[in-house]
Structure formats: C-alpha cells, structure tokens
Structure 1
Amino acid sequence: MKSIRNYIYWTAATSTIGPERVAKWTSILNHVQDVHSHDDPLFPKCLHPLCITTDKRKWMATGTPAFCKLEKILLNKRILKAVAKLSPHHQTSSLEAFHGVILRFALKNVVFPFLGMLCRLYLVALHYNENADRAQASTSTGKPLYKLQFPKARKGECRAKPIKTDPTFRYVANLMDLIFNQVFVDPAPFTQELLKIPIPEDLCSQYERPEGGHRRLCFTVQFGCCLNPT
C-alpha cells in the first residue's frame, strides 16, 4: 500500500495528459506480477531498471483473491476518473500549512470580533507569503539537514523531513514603519478606509429570541423538562 501511494504521486508528477496518467496507473496490475511491458502505447514499459527475480512468491498471480481485489479497486470507474484529473502542480499540503499558521495567530478557543479576526488573517497571509518558500537548512560544510518524523497516521513509519531555515519577520518592520510614519501622522484616510469595510451581523442575530427564553432554557437544563411558558 505504501508503494501504491508513492506511485500515484509519481503518476501525477510525470504525466501531462489524463490518458497518460490512467495508463501509468493501470500498469500497476502488470507490475505486481513482475510484468513490466504494457499494452498501452502511452506507457509501453516501466521506466525502472529491470531486475531478475528468483523468488516468485514476492509477486502476485492472476486469479488469486488478493489480485482480484486489487484489480477491482484500481480499475474502479470513479478511481480512474479521479486519476485522470490529478494535478502535478497543486497540492493540499500548502493549504494545510496555511491553516496551521492561522491557528498560531487566531486560536480556536478565543472569540474575536470581525475586524479583529480580519486583521489577524491579514497577518497570517503576510507571515505565510514571506516564509512559505524557505530554503532547506544546511551545516557549515553545506550538507542539507533533515530530521526524523513519526506521523501518527502512518502507524510508526518514520520519514526524513527537510529542516527549513529560520522564519523571517520583515513584514513586522514594514507594518511598524506604516503605523508610525503614516497612520499616526494622518489617521483620517486610514479611518475612512476602515469604515468602508462591511461588517456582517452576528449569526445569533438572524434568529428570533422568545421572551423569557433564557429562563426557560435554564429550568429545562436543570430539571430535564420543558416548562409551559404560561
């Protein structure tokens, strides 16, 4: 399963059109049988060096329950349709990293007003854009640095993760320069722009509150029953 997961990433990264991705994806069924020549002209043979295998037990055989189950999964119409649309350029890892930065600036257990949250999201964007493409750290001799990581989802499997250089905060100096040299000198234009931002109503304001509803709710929670409002 680990090899198949790696293979689907390789399929997306080395293909240019959808049919080519599908051809490479379906070639797994030959590969697991130690067959490395394929009928599809878009991917006629595997690109790795061929190795002579003496132990045939390491490979699957056609007609076995395991092979039939793998074939059913890989050739599923929904899977093939999704493989054809794989993108080699856009990954969700950067989006997940951006969401992680949001948690550093705006904790989930703290309630912020709309403008406060908006300002924090702006800070998140500034910090992420400045540090998203940091280079890999290296030793004094130029050797790249890595660290071992043990993701919980991989059940103990470790992997080498590149260590990035320390983040920078140049945007902070730019903001301080803007505040002290422009906002404090003449705050009027900035205040006008701030007042133009439409602030939506609170979600709770969209619902009608019955009279005495808070008191009845308290009694309901305490006694486990619904009281007659009369």
Structure 2
Amino acid sequence: MEDVLREMKNQCKPITLMGDGRSDSPGFSAKYMVYSFMEETTEKIVQVQLVQKTECSSSVAMEKVGMERALDAIIAQGLSIETVVTDRAPSIKKLMKDKYPSINHQFDVWHVCKGLKKKLLSLGKKKGMEDLLLWTRSITNHFWWCCQHCGQDSSVLKRRWISLLHHITGEHEWTVEGETYSCSHGTLTEDQCLRTRWLQSGSPSFKALKSLIENKFLIRDLEQMTQLKHTGSLEVYHNVILKFAPKRLHFTYDTMLARTELAVPDHNENVGRFQAVTREGVLRFKKIYSRTAKEWILKSMYEKKTNHYARELMSRTVENRTDINFRSNISRNVHPVSIAPEPAPSTEELLSKRRSRT
C-alpha cells in the first residue's frame, strides 16, 4: 500500500476514494471490522484498518472508527483528497460533515439501488401489490439512469427521479408549475402500451411506491449522488478477503490482521487484468444463471491471476530470519485477546460461584 500511496503522491493530483466496511461474520455479531479505501481510477487498495469490537460501543459503531482511522492515515501521507464515496450510514455522513467539510462526500449509488430493490421486493410480496415485482428492475435502472444523466445537478436528478410516478401510470407528458415535461424514452407503440402493466393511480401499489420514491431522506440524499459514484469494485476486493479470512472461521487479532493485509497485494497485483481470449483471438465468456435476475447471463473471463507478491514476501521472510536483530525490531499492537469487557477472574473464584442442577 505504501508504494501505491507514494506513486499517487508523486502525481500531485487530487484523488477520489471509495470506502466500505466488511464484517468478519454474517449478521450483527461481528468481532472485527475491516474498513478499506480504494482509489477510483486505479482500483487499488490504498488503506486498510482493522477494528475490534472492544474498541467501540457496538459492532455497528466499528465502521465509523475504521473509516476515520483509514482516512486520517491517508491524509497524513500528504495526499490531496477531492471526493470520498461511502454508503449512506448516518454516522459516516455526520463524521464527514463535521471533521472533513472540505472533502466532497458522495453516496454509493450501487448501495442505494440495492436497498431500493430490497424494499420493492418486500412490498411486492404483500397482497394486492404483486404488480410492483414486474417494475422492480425498471425502477432501479431508472434510478441509476437519473444519477448518470443529471449533469451533476441535484434539482434535475430529483425531478427525473420523481417523474417515474407519471411514467409508471402510463402518463408520458405532464405539466409542473407551468412547465411541460415528457419521458426520455421516445414515443411508445400502441402494442407496447397495451402489453405494459401500468399501475393505477391511487392503487395500494402506487401509494406504496409513491411513499418510497418521495421518501424525504432519499430525496435529501440525492444531492450527494449527482456524480454517479459507486463501490462495486470494492465488493470484488471483499471477495478476495474471503479467500484469506472466511467468515465462517474465527481468528485471533494478529491472525486476522495478517490475513487481511495479505489480501491487499493479491488484489493490487491482479487488478486491471485483460479479458481472456481464445487461440483465435475471440473474447472469452462464461454462462452463469443469476438467481437475482432469474435468467442466464454472460460474464467475462479474465487472464489468470499472478502471485509475484508471495515470492517477494517469502524472500523477505528468509532475509529477516537471517537478521539477528530482526526480532527486536518487531513492534506489536497490543489488543485484547477476548471481547469480554473485563479480565477473567481466577478459576477458584469461578468455582466458588458455580452452581449445578444435580
């Protein structure tokens, strides 16, 4: 990571960082939180911080602590940060506003689309709202399109997002405050209009969708989604961490730290690989059935990964073992081996309190 930061510092250009946290276990019972920052253009990891639950009030609070430590470490290197992209966590938003007001804070559009889809699927399971399921993909695609074509103007983004309420009822031209607007999809054929299952204005489905689209918190946060920033590449890196630190296994702090740091050079060395080709020079793909989309899709196949970093690490390990002063140069972070809030009492004390049902 130091080499990546040094290279970016030499370029003397403001950078955009994408940040996200990754818990060490499913659900809300995490012991560790790994917060990572990726540089947008190179998609390389520039900073990683491991936070243990005992350092915070709860597992949810670990993300803010990790994000703050990682961002401070990057700033300490003298880099100029133009934009930081994160999810919409209230604690992160407040931290950016209070401590880093000069940095442009954008929300991850990918996470917002994911949340919208989850809410739409939940609404579609309710009686009388099944027709929302037919519109789920179109609605999330429309949200992405709005962020992409708003020209970084929040008022345009808000207007286009809310305009979905007209289109979804079959109304493709409307007037707001004396100005006439229309959909950007062009004129629909009579057959398209007949085959489309439009929502009825005033129906339970429409009212639920209207409440979701006009949610005051979502409308407010649209102001920080005008640049179409997303952390999809970070999700790829999180899959790399799974290879070194699976969520179904528990590790001590030192082991978790080492495994997390091993994932960084593995990712940085292999990011930006070209798509694989056949002997005839044809691009290679693989067929995968998407359970989310419920259809077959094509995914690109890439060139084989390399692991030159591993050979370098092994070479350094051998050199360090031959250095008689190496052990005295190791500085270890002191972290509790247990998540208990207090030290364990003696065995005798616990035996005196022990009760048996027999």
TM-score for both structures, normalised by structure 1: 0.73
Deviation per residue, 1:84-111 (Å, 9 max, x gap): 33352232x3333333222211234544
Q: Which residue of 2 aligns with 1:18?
A: 154
CA distance in 2, matches of 1:30, 1:70: 12
CA contact under 8 A between 1:23 and 1:40: conserved in structure 2? no
CA contact under 8 A between 2:174 and 2:182: conserved in structure 1? yes
Q: Which residue of 2 aligns with 1:6?
A: 141
Q: Which is greater in Rg? A: 1
Deviation per residue, 1:186-223 (Å, 9 max, x gap): 352x434422x322122356414445465478755xx3
CA distance in 2, matches of 1:32, 1:110: 47
- Compute the displacement of 1:148 (Å): 3.2
CA distance in 2, matches of 1:74, 1:125: 38
Residue in structure 2 matching 1:50, options 164, 187, 196? 187
1:90 aligns with 2:90: no
1:28 aligns with 2:164: yes
1:160 aligns with 2:298: yes
CA distance in 2, matches of 1:38, 1:130: 52
CA distance in 2, matches of 1:38, 1:144: 46
Change (3 A) 1:185 1:210: closer
1:126 aligns with 2:261: no
- Compute the displacement of 1:75 (Å): 1.6
- Compute the displacement of 1:128 (Å): 1.5
Mean CA deviation greater in 140-149 or 116-125: 140-149
Deviation per residue, 1:30-55 (Å, 9 max, x gap): 222344445579x9544334332244
Q: Which residue of 1 aligns with 2:216?
A: 77
- Compute the displacement of 1:126 (Å): 0.8
Change (3 A) 1:210 1:115: closer
- Compute the displacement of 1:18 (Å): 2.3
Deviation per residue, 1:105-127 (Å, 9 max, x gap): 12345444433332222111111
Amino acid at match of 2:228: P
Change (3 A) 1:200 1:210: closer
Q: Which residue of 2 aligns with 1:183?
A: 320
Amino acid at match of 2:299: K
CA contact under 8 A between 1:37 and 1:45: conserved in structure 2? yes
Deviation per residue, 1:117-141 (Å, 9 max, x gap): 3222211111112223333323334
- Compute the displacement of 1:20 (Å): 2.4
| Structure 2 residues without counterparts, runs of 5 or longer | 1-135
- Compute the displacement of 1:25 (Å): 1.0
CA contact under 8 A between 2:158 and 2:222: conserved in structure 1? yes
Higher helix share: 1
- Compute the displacement of 1:64 (Å): 4.0
Structure 1 runs, 4 residues or longer, greater than 6 Å off:
none
1:200 aligns with 2:200: no
| Structure 1 residues without counterparts, runs of 5 or longer | 225-230
Q: Which residue of 2 aligns with 1:135?
A: 274
TM-score for both structures, normalised by structure 2: 0.50
1:148 aligns with 2:284: no
CA contact under 8 A between 1:105 and 1:120: conserved in structure 2? yes
CA contact under 8 A between 1:25 and 1:83: conserved in structure 2? no
Q: Which residue of 2 aligns with 1:227?
A: none
Superposition CA RMSD, Å: 3.4
1:159 match: secondary structure: strand
